[in-house]
Amino acid sequence: MLFSPAITRLVDVFRRLPGIGPKTALRLVFFVLSMEKEEVEEMARALVDAKRRVKHCARCRNLTEQDICSVCRDERRDQSLLCVVQEPRDMMVIEKTGQFKGLYFILHGALSPVEGFGPEELKIPDLLQLMKTGGVKEVIIATNPNVEGDATAFYIAGAARPLGIMVSRIGFGLPVGGDLEYADELTMTRALEGRREI
């Protein structure tokens, strides 16, 4: 064997991370081994600590160290407006715009029977409960514009409508600042289908 068992083990651990192949993993291992002992210990502690402390917000399922996350606790936010997203990073993208003043609900996935994601796994019953009791008047669904994201949007919309809640889906189409000639056929078709009167 070329490397010691400890090194092989660490390579295997790094390889579990997304986007890390065997070569990158080995590079990371060599780097870690060249670091100061204290630094490595700090890194290991940070990993374990983050995993131990961070959990899902009881209300919106955002990642937080408290029971209720800081977004949900912010009283200046509009309680009647709810945005449903797939992943925490999608929420971050919307937050960055500063244009959305409502609250969020994070599904941590999309409906996909093939992968075993049903309404239960996405905690859609919790979402419906929130709609019923949380004073929500309008829901914006911002799931991804693919087959699973659309299915999720239709499912939530179908469940929300009997509650008298207004449901909308974020718009899809051309990227702002881009030229029309660079749009692929499907994006362009969707943009045409979703055109608006001006």
Partner 1 sequence: MFIKDLILTNFRNYEKEKLQFAPGICIVQGANGQGKSNLLEAIYCLCFGRSFKNYKDSDLVKWERPFYFIQGTVVLQKHPYKMEVGFETGKRRKVVKVNGKVDKKFSLEGNFPVVFFVPEDLEMIRRGPEERRRFIDREICQISALYRDYLIRYNRIIAQKNKILKENIQKKELREMLHVWNRQIVHFGSRIIKIRNEMISIWSSLASRNYACLFQESQLLSISYENCLGIKEITTDIEEIEKTFQNEIKKTEEEEMRRGYSLLGPHREDLLFLLDGREARRFASHGQQRSAIISLKAAQIQFFNDKKEKPLFILDDLFSELDEFRMEQCFSLFKGAEQVFITITRKDNYLEPFLEKFSDFSFFHVSEGKVMELKENGKSRTFC
CA 31 and chain centroid, separation: 30
Q: Which is nearer to partner 1, 26 or 32 (CB)?
A: 26
Say whether residue 111 binds partner 1 (CB under 8 A).
Answer: yes
* Site stretch for partner 1 (CB under 8 A), options 42-50, 64-72, 76-84, 184-192: 184-192
Say whether residue 90 binds partner 1 (CB under 8 A).
Answer: no
- What are the C-alpha distances in Å from 122 to residues 3, 71, 142, 153? 42, 20, 15, 12
Which residues from 147-176 bind partner 1, rule CB under 8 A?
147-148, 150-151, 154-155, 158
* Site stretch for partner 1 (CB under 8 A), options 32-40, 42-50, 59-67, 179-187: 179-187
The Cα–Cα gap between 191 and 173 comes to 4
Phi-psi region of 83 (alpha: psi -120 to 50; beta: other; left: phi over 0): beta
Alpha helices in the chain (DSSP H): 5-15, 22-34, 37-53, 70-73, 88-97, 124-133, 147-160, 185-193
Say whether residue 184 binds partner 1 (CB under 8 A).
Answer: yes
How many residues make contact with partner 1 (CB under 8 A)? Answer: 18
Shortest distance (Å) from residue 81 CB to partner 1: 24
Quote the tokens at residue 16: 């579990």
Report how far apart the first and last C-alpha atoms of the chain are (Å, whole number): 69
In the set 112, 121, 128, 174, which binds partner 1 (CB under 8 A)? 112
Q: Which is nearer to partner 1, 14 or 100 (CB)?
A: 14
Q: Applying CB under 8 A, which residues contact partner 1?
A: 111-114, 118-119, 146-148, 150-151, 154-155, 158, 184-186, 189
